[in-house]
Amino acid sequence: MVLNKIRQAKKKRNLITYSNPDSIISEQFRTIRTNIKFLTDNRNSHNFLLTSPNKQEGTSTTVANLAVSMAFLRDKILLIDANLRSPYQHTIFKTANEIGLNNIIAGQTTFNQAVFKTGIGNLDVLTSGSSKMNPSEVISDDKMIELLKEVRGTYDIVLVDSPSVLQSTETRVLAHHCDGVVLIVNKGKTDLQKAAEAKSILDLAHANIVGAILNDKR
């Protein structure tokens, strides 16, 4: 699936599916949404990790738009910003980031206290929060797996925004605990060899790669 260049959304940063649901790109997100919905039918697929081979290839923008598109179907959706190195969902959804995933793992808050209700359908966002701990230690903590289990009962679909595969170790850890992985590659930017390298790393982590999205950012 190819995504066209997104024009700046007026209210929420780059949330074209929210600001312009009739656009071609919103239609493209609906197609991706449908493909993912197929995976959730009759199978135990529930949480999906989205990542890319390298940094700045459009993962966060794609996850946010996909989450909004899914929320329009009245499903209960949770978006977790697990990119603790370079968190971005609080910027996209224009919300505070004092507490979030980091603080839950550190035992400083609960999920219910930390989660942000966007008001866009039933879309909740768990921002990264703040911590002095190393991101890979936070993600490798048993509490992270517990959290993924806990939200399984509450949400129809959970989308996990993750750091790039080649510049982090935590994405492979997380990918192992998610039902499906979607790889975002950037048209004209992602090197084919790097994409293959990222796929091998995810395969080694026994990740279930369910598809790829070609982001045309330029």
Ligand X SMILES: Nc1ncnc2c1ncn2[C@@H]1O[C@H](COP(=O)(O)OP(=O)(O)OP(=O)(O)O)[C@@H](O)[C@H]1O
Contact residues toward Mg ion (CB under 5 A) are: 59-60, 83, 88
Q: Which stretch binds ligand X (CB under 6 A): 26-34, 56-64, 134-142, 148-156?
A: 56-64
69 or 89: whose CB is closer to Mg ion? 89
Question: How far is Cα 143 from Cα 170, in angstroms, rounded to an integer?
Answer: 14
**Residue 164 near which of ligand X, Mg ion, none (CB within 5-8 Å, type-dependent):** ligand X
Residue 41 neighbours by CB distance under 10 Å? 7
- The yes or no reply on residue 95 touching ligand X (CB under 6 A) is no
CA dist 143 to 56, 180, 183, Å? 28, 20, 25
Question: How far is Cα 50 from Cα 142, in angstroms, rounded to an integer?
Answer: 21
Number of residues that bind ligand X (CB under 6 A): 19
Residue 6 neighbours by CB distance under 10 Å? 22
- The yes or no reply on residue 86 touching ligand X (CB under 6 A) is yes
81 or 124: whose CB is closer to Mg ion? 81
E-only strand ranges, 122-166: 122-126, 157-161
Point out which residues bind ligand X (CB under 6 A): 3, 5-6, 14, 52, 55-61, 83, 86, 88, 164, 215-217
